[in-house]
Amino acid sequence: MRSNKGTAAPSLQGQTSGVENYNFRLASLRGRYLNSVSEAVPGDSPVFQFRSLGSAARSGAESEARAKMAAAKPTLTDSLSFCLAQLAAAAGEGLGGEKDPATNETPLGRALLALRTRHIKAAGGIERFRARGGLRPLLALLRRAAAAGSAPSQASPGSAPSAASAASSPAPVSGPAPSTVSSSTPSPPVRLRKTLDLALSILADCCTEGACRAEVRRLGGILPLVTILQCMKTDSIQNRTARALGNLAMEPESCGDIHCAGAVPLLVESLTACQDSQCLQSVVRALRNLADSPQHRLALAQQGAVRPLAELLATAPDAALTSALVRALLELSRGCSRACAEQLSLGGGLGPLVSLASHPKRVVREGTILILANLCAQGLIRPALGNAGGVEVLVDELRQRRGPNGASPASQQPLVRAVCLLCREAINRARLRDAGGLDLLIGLLRDPRASAWHPRIVAALVGFLYDTGALGRLQALGLVPLLAGQLCGEAGEEEEEGREAASWDFPEERTPERAQGGSFRSLRSWLISEGYAAGPDDISPDWSPEQCPPPEPMEPASPILTPTSLRAPRTQRTPGRSPAAANEEPWGREGPALLLLSRFSQAPDPSGALVTGPALYGLLTYVTGAPGPPSPRALRILSRLTCNPACLEAFVRSYGAALLRAWLVLGVAPDDWPAPRARPTLHSRHRELGSPEDRVACALTLPFICRKPSLWRRLLLEQGGLRLLLAALTRPAPHPLFLFFAADSLSCLQDLVSPTVSPAIPQAVPMDLDSPSPCLYEPLLGPAPVPAPDLHFLLDSGLQLPAQRAASATASPFFRALLSGSFAEAQMDLVPLRGLSPGAAWPILHHLHGCRGCGAALGPVPPPGQPLLGSEAEEALEAAGRFLLPGLEEELEEAVGRIHLGPQGGPESVGEVFRLGRPRLAAHCARWTLGPEQCPRKRGLALVGLVEAAGEEAGPLTEALLAVVMGIELGARVPA
Is 248 in a helix, a strand, or coil?
helix
Residues 816-830: what's their mean pLDDT?
Answer: 87
User: What does the alpha-carbon distance between residue 859 and residue 895 come to, in Å, rounded to a whole number?
Assistant: 9
Q: In this structure, are residues 237 and 219 in contact, taking their beta carbons and an 8 Å threshold?
A: no
Q: In this structure, are residues 754 and 762 in contact, taking their beta carbons and an 8 Å threshold?
A: no
* pLDDT band for position 359 (cuts 50, 70, 90): very high
pLDDT in tens, 316-331: 778 999 999 999 999 9
* pLDDT band for position 184 (cuts 50, 70, 90): very low
User: What does the alpha-carbon distance between residue 700 and residue 715 come to, in Å, rounded to a whole number?
Assistant: 11
What is the rounded (10 degree) CA torsion for 507, 512, 516, 517? -60
Residues 911-938: what's their mean pLDDT?
Answer: 89
- Measure CA 302 to chain center: 34
pLDDT at 645: 92
* pLDDT band for position 975 (cuts 50, 70, 90): very low
pLDDT at 483: 93
Nearest to 431 by CA among 456, 480, 394, 468: 394
Query: Which DSSP string corresponds to 384-418?
Result: HHHHTTHHHHHHHHHHHHTSTT---HHHHHHHHHH
First to last CA, the chain: 149
User: What does the alpha-carbon distance between residue 89 and residue 964 come to, in Å, rounded to a whole number?
Assistant: 117
Residues 634-659: what's their mean pLDDT?
Answer: 93
pLDDT at 187: 55
| Predicted TM-score (pTM) of this structure | 0.70
- Measure CA 680 to chain center: 34
pLDDT, greater one: 42 or 747: 747
pLDDT, greater one: 174 or 435: 435
Query: Which DSSP string corresponds to 14-48?
Result: HHHHHHHHHHHHHHHHHHHHHHHHHHH-TTS-HHH
Question: If you ran DSSP here, which 8-state letter would residue 517 be given?
Answer: H
pLDDT at 732: 87
Burial (Cβ within 10 Å: 0-12, 13-18, ≥19) of residue 447: middle
Residues 360-382: what's their mean pLDDT?
Answer: 94
User: What does the alpha-carbon distance between residue 868 and residue 860 come to, in Å, rounded to a whole number?
Assistant: 10
* Radius of gyration, CA atoms only, the chain: 51
pLDDT, greater one: 303 or 855: 303
User: What does the alpha-carbon distance between residue 168 and residue 529 come to, in Å, rounded to a whole number?
Assistant: 50
User: What does the alpha-carbon distance between residue 842 and residue 243 come to, in Å, rounded to a whole number?
Assistant: 109
Sign of CA dihedral 425, 427, 432, 434: positive
Cβ partners under 8 Å of residue 812, min gap 6: 848, 883, 884, 885
Q: What residues does 791 pair with on adjacent strands?
A: 803
What is the rounded (10 degree) CA torsion for 260, 263, 266, 272? -110
Choice among 319-333, 555-569, 619-633, 681-695 with the minimum mean pLDDT = 555-569
Q: Is 868's pLDDT higher than 60?
A: yes
Q: In this structure, are residues 152 and 95 in contact, taking their beta carbons and an 8 Å threshold?
A: no
User: What does the alpha-carbon distance between residue 321 and residue 312 come to, in Å, rounded to a whole number?
Assistant: 9
pLDDT at 197: 87
Q: In this structure, are residues 473 and 434 in contact, taking their beta carbons and an 8 Å threshold?
A: no
Q: How far is CA 703 from CA 616, 657, 931, 944, in A?
A: 21, 10, 16, 20
Q: Is 432's pLDDT higher than 90?
A: yes
* pLDDT band for position 641 (cuts 50, 70, 90): very high
**E strands present in 681-795:** 791-794
Residues 286-308: what's their mean pLDDT?
Answer: 95
Q: What residues does 792 pair with on adjacent strands?
A: 802, 830
* Total Cβ atoms within 10 A of residue 326: 26
Q: Is 554's pLDDT higher than 50?
A: no
Q: What is the mean pLDDT of the chain?
A: 77
pLDDT in tens, 226-279: 999 998 888 999 999 999 999 999 999 999 999 999 999 999 999 988 889 999
Q: Is 886's pLDDT higher than 60?
A: yes
Q: Is 42's pLDDT higher than 80?
A: no
Query: Which DSSP string corresponds to 168-226?
Result: TSSS---SSS--BS-TTSPPPPHHHHHHHHHHHHHHHHHTTSHHHHHHHHHTT-HHHHH
* pLDDT band for position 524 (cuts 50, 70, 90): low
Q: Is 674's pLDDT higher than 80?
A: no
HEC profile for 747-759?
HHHHHHHCCCCCC
Angle between helices 936-950 and 907-914 (to 10 degrees): 30
pLDDT at 107: 76
User: What does the alpha-carbon distance between residue 278 and residue 359 come to, in Å, rounded to a whole number?
Assistant: 21
Nearest to 611 by CA among 733, 480, 734, 488: 480
Q: Is 573's pLDDT higher than 50?
A: no
Residues 135-155: what's their mean pLDDT?
Answer: 72
User: What does the alpha-carbon distance between residue 603 and residue 545 come to, in Å, rounded to a whole number?
Assistant: 37
Most confident of 334-338, 528-532, 686-690: 334-338
